[in-house]
Structure 1
Amino acid sequence: MKGTLLLLALLVTGELGFQTTEACIPYIEAYTTMVLGNKQLMNALLTKFHPTNGEREAADKVQECFNEAGLKAKILDSIVLHLITDSPECKQYYTQDVKNKIDAFLSKVIGK
């Protein structure tokens, strides 16, 4: 599952012509809303990307997979995401602006 999501994110960012660092924040936001399991929250976030009905249905299915997998799988997937985004290989591509956005987003999520 986590490999599938990562591959999907990389394919989408490649097809849209984005640098992966530019897609980092939106990917983490979308991933977080899917893992939380709240359909309304996920749809609110997806709205800013102007998704088609098919894309919304696909996101719903991914969220259902996360919900069916349970808390343990969600935690393990989140650890993998953290390890990838916090790796030295990824960090070398982050600009200071991206680092600030990640810090601000994590502060909102964690509540610091």
Structure 2
Amino acid sequence: MKGTLAVLALLLSGELGLQRSESLTSCPIFYEVFGTLSLGSRKLLDASLSLVNATPAEKEALGKVQDCYNEGGLTAKALDLQAMTSINTSPECISHSLATVEANL
């Protein structure tokens, strides 16, 4: 289950059209949708997905991901938070973020 959620989180980032060159604008959107996804409210999720013009099929698919989160409970959410933290604090991610900021200054 925890591996499935991690894969789904990665698919979510690809599904929202996140590209490394757009990380300054796409990262906040990704974290908003990811955070809303883990809250468990379908209305909040749909509102966040409306900001990125998600299609009905994308909304339905992410709703299914949210159902997995709700089924997994706090344990699943904590494991994903741990995974996201380790990814975001990795040397590769930090150096990429710094390079992106420098390139956009």
- TM surpasses 0.5: yes
Aligned to 1:29, what secondary structure does the other structure show?
Answer: helix
| C-alpha distance 17-7 of structure 1, shift in aligned 2 (>3 A) | closer
RMSD of aligned alpha carbons: 2.4
Q: How many pairs does the alignment contain?
A: 96
Aligned residue in 1 for 2:10:
7
1:82 and 2:62 matched: no
**Aligned mates of 1:17, 1:38 — CA distance in 2:** 23
Which 5+ residue runs of structure 1 have no aligned equivalent?
Answer: 99-112
> TM-score normalised to the size of structure 2?
0.76
**Aligned mates of 1:97, 1:36 — CA distance in 2:** 30
* Residue 52 (structure 1) aligned to one of 51, 55, 73: 55
> TM-score normalised to the size of structure 1?
0.72
| Per-residue CA distance 1:8-63 (angstroms, 9 max, x = gap) | 145436xx472163432222111110111111111111101111110110011010
Aligned to 1:50, what secondary structure does the other structure show?
Answer: coil
1:18 and 2:19 matched: yes
Which 5+ residue runs of structure 2 have no aligned equivalent?
Answer: none
Aligned residue in 2 for 1:28:
31
